[in-house]
Amino acid sequence: MDVLQLIVSGLANGCVYGLIAMGFVLIYKATEAVNFAQGDFMMLGAFICLGLTNPQFMGLPFWVSVPIAIAIMGAFGYALDLVVLRRMFGQSQIAIVILTIALGFVLRFAAGVIWGHEPISLASPIAGRDVRFGGVVLGLDEVMVIAVTGILTLLLYLYFNRTKLGVAMQASSQNQLAAYYMGIPVKRIHSLIWALSGMTAAVAGILFASKGSIDPSIGLLGIKAFAAAVIGGFGSLPGALLGGIIVGLIEPFSGRYMPSGYSQIMPYLLLFLILIFRPHGILAQVHAKKV
């Protein structure tokens, strides 16, 4: 059952990529900006949960610290938009790209100072346990990751398409000026979406930390998540998940069936193929460029 285990672990990794990708797709959908620090948000979420849970820090029960960590990351996202990004309102997207990259460096440094650069593992009750389906043994952590990601994607998708706030978020990205005319508080919507994206990143971080040890440089996973988002279709929530899963599945299989050194570049090669043959991704959001 080698192949099945490869598939499940690939799916679990892919779901984490998908969740990170979803974080910046959320921001992109509502503000047209791209948060290059999303991977570092994920890292920060994981470390906050770790700091609350692990006995050498605060030692809270896991199920108490998870909601607290998610709430802290939500508040962090909101505050970040309020203090830093709101000043950039109306400026070019490239400036925001550069700003968020720099932010990522600062966050990584801060996490390194607080929690150290050594890999630490989260004292999580779902790590290291098995689930048996017939003759197949699967890690509980991997099953949890897949299940939680599926539920979260569905919720976010419904939120964006069915609720008033979600539609307002879409409106504020489709045409800021028109959204203002319709009475949508665009700036507050932006802060809310950063909060939401911070919360998604916290979930991704906690799930990732349940699968193994973490250190401040895991934020670099964000780069793979970018590849995932572009493959799936930038701006589409199901697309982000799909792209994440594709990237997650490609890695273990190319690691197994191809010479060493190729497995880590396969996602990026796929990214280039997609950019050449289907530039807007598998679930494309752009149909024709309107003037």
Residue 183 touches another protein, criterion: CB under 8 A? no
C-beta separation of 34 from 103 below 8 A: no
Residue 182 touches another protein, criterion: CB under 8 A? no
DSSP states along 101-127: HHHHHHHHHHHHHHH-SS-B----TTT
C-beta separation of 203 from 45 below 8 A: yes
Give whichever of 4 and 178 is closer to another protein, judged by the CB atom.
178
Locate 273 and state its tokens: 């193929």
Q: How far apart are the first and last CA of the chain?
A: 53
From 109, 137, 182, 213, residue interacting with another protein (rule: CB under 8 A): 109
From 234, 242, 243, 245, residue interacting with another protein (rule: CB under 8 A): 234
Residue 255 touches another protein, criterion: CB under 8 A? no
From 76, 152, 226, 250, residue interacting with another protein (rule: CB under 8 A): 226
Q: What angle do CA 105, 107, 110 make, to 5 degrees?
A: 110
Which region holds residue 281: left if phi is over 0, alpha if psi is between -120 and 50, else beta? left
Give whichever of 75 and 286 is closer to another protein, judged by the CB atom.
286
Among positive and negative, which fits the CA dihedral 48, 52, 55, 57?
A: positive
Residue 163 touches another protein, criterion: CB under 8 A? no
Give whichever of 71 and 97 is closer to another protein, judged by the CB atom.
97
Enumerate binding residues for another protein (CB under 8 A).
28-29, 31-32, 34, 36, 84, 87-95, 97-99, 101-106, 108-110, 112-113, 117, 173-177, 180, 216, 223, 226-227, 230, 234-236, 261-262, 264-265, 268-269, 271-272, 275-276, 279-280, 285-291
